């Protein structure tokens, strides 16, 4: 994760106890909305992995909002939710990804490189 001027790099103890953070989001129409930016649970990791190419879906997932909700946010609020959602979830999620890759490699040694090569060839 990138440096963020002294802000915590992962979830604070309070965020962990609450399961996330309360954030005020500003919408394009000038209204504000209180949202709960949640810490994902282990059972959410598969779904989050599938969203990696769609940041708007990730924001909506973190906030438990319907599809299209992220389009209603100001750029600043959208950016805040992306950054804060990643901050409170990245350590847990990327540890899960690393464990998944390690298990995959134990079952099929070299599969990660083969999949990466196939993905590059397809693009």
Domain boundaries in the chain?
13-92
pLDDT in tens, 21-44: 999 999 999 999 999 999 999 999
Would you say 93 and 44 are in contact if contact means Cβ atoms under 8 Å apart?
no
CA atoms within 13 A on the CB side of 68: 0
CA–CA separation, 105 and 97 (whole Å)? 12
pTM to 2 decimals? 0.80
Segment 45-74 mean pLDDT = 97
């Amino acid at each position: 994760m990138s440096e963020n001027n002294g802000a915590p790099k992962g979830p604070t103890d309070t965020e962990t106890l609450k399961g996330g953070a309360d954030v005020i989001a500003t919408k394009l129409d000038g209204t504000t909305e209180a949202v709960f930016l949640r810490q994902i649970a282990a059972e959410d990791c598969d779904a989050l992995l599938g969203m990696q190419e769609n940041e708007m879906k990730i924001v909506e997932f973190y906030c438990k909002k319907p599809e299209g909700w992220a389009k209603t946010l100001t750029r600043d609020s959208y950016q805040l939710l992306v950054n804060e959602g990643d901050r409170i979830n990245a350590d847990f999620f990327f540890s899960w990804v690393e464990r998944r890759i390690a298990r995959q490699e134990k079952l099929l040694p070299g599969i990660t490189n083969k999949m990466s090569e196939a993905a590059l060839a397809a693009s």
